[in-house]
Amino acid sequence: MSNKFPKDVLKKAYSLMCTARAMSDIYEKNKEVTSKYVHATSKGHEAIQLAVGLQLTKNDWVAPYYRDDSILLGIGIAPYELMLQLMCKKDDPFSGGRTYYSHPSLKRDGFPKIPHQSSATGMQGIPTTGVAMGIQYQENEGLTKPKKGEEPVVVCSFGDASITEGEVAEAFQMAALKKLPILFIDILFSIRSSSFYIC
């Protein structure tokens, strides 16, 4: 893989970083409206999340958690669509307005697949490790034959506190033991120190 990124990719990443930050600021400025429901945002994590989101393809799976709205922008979800969930609207593409902001689940042509997950921190670890195990099984058994460079990968993102949970340790150990095609991302800031969190 080249370590030089084309300028248009860098420009897109920067533009989406600014979009994500502007959205956080808009939510904060309008807290009387947006604080009707819980939300946190990717403030401070935009770069790492866009580095991930922009590289995912329709072959992949991703489990962003509630602070990963920049990953969602990176895979191609529109700000308007994210705000539909923020405001609990029925056209929200993830859950028809039934779940909090940045609680995604998606099966849309051309996009990475997002398994449904709850608000319980760390719960995405075991199901996504299971997806990676399924991908490896299919490839080993010759049930799927992805082209070179198009092999699916699973991305699972956590906050730093959630990775202290036992079930997350179980997921990490199984992924390492079986060399599963999964990338875990651990975001190191607290919702309370670096980002915006309203109940």
- In the bound complex, which residue of the shown chain has the CB atom lying closest to Mg ion? 159
Q: Which residues are CB-contacts of 32 (< 8 A; sequence separation ≥ 6)?
A: none
Within 13 Å, how many C-alpha atoms sit on residue 128's CB side? 31
Q: Does 164 bind Mg ion (CB under 5 A)?
A: no
| Positions in the binding site for ligand TPP (CB under 6 A) | 40, 67, 119-121, 159-162, 187, 190-191
Identity of the residue, 150 or 160, whose beta carbon is nearer to ligand TPP in the bound complex:
160
The dihedral formed by the CA atoms of 21, 68, 105 and 83, expressed in degrees to the nearest 10: -20
> Cβ 88 to ligand TPP, closest distance in Å?
19
Identity of the residue, 64 or 152, whose beta carbon is nearer to ligand TPP in the bound complex:
64
Query: Could you tell me if 72 and 155 are in contact, meaning their C-beta atoms sit under 8 angstroms apart?
Result: no
Looking up tokens 């994210």 gives 82
- In the bound complex, which residue of the shown chain has the CB atom lying closest to ligand TPP? 159
Total residues belonging to the chain: 199
Output the six-digit token pair for 165.
């949970």
Number of amino acids touching Mg ion (CB under 5 A): 4
> Cβ 36 to ligand TPP, closest distance in Å?
18
Query: Could you tell me if 198 and 31 are in contact, meaning their C-beta atoms sit under 8 angstroms apart?
Result: yes
Identity of the residue, 152 or 159, whose beta carbon is nearer to Mg ion in the bound complex:
159
**Percentages helix, strand, coil for the chain, rounded to the nearest 5?**
40, 10, 50
> Cβ 160 to ligand TPP, closest distance in Å?
4
Three-class SS of residue 183? strand
Identity of the residue, 60 or 68, whose beta carbon is nearer to ligand TPP in the bound complex:
68
Identity of the residue, 35 or 121, whose beta carbon is nearer to Mg ion in the bound complex:
121
Looking up tokens 């991305």 gives 155
> Cβ 42 to Mg ion, closest distance in Å?
13
Candidate list 25, 91, 160, 186; residue touching Mg ion; CB under 5 A = 160
Q: Does 150 bind Mg ion (CB under 5 A)?
A: no
Question: Which stretches of the chain bind Mg ion, using CB under 5 A?
Answer: 159-161, 190
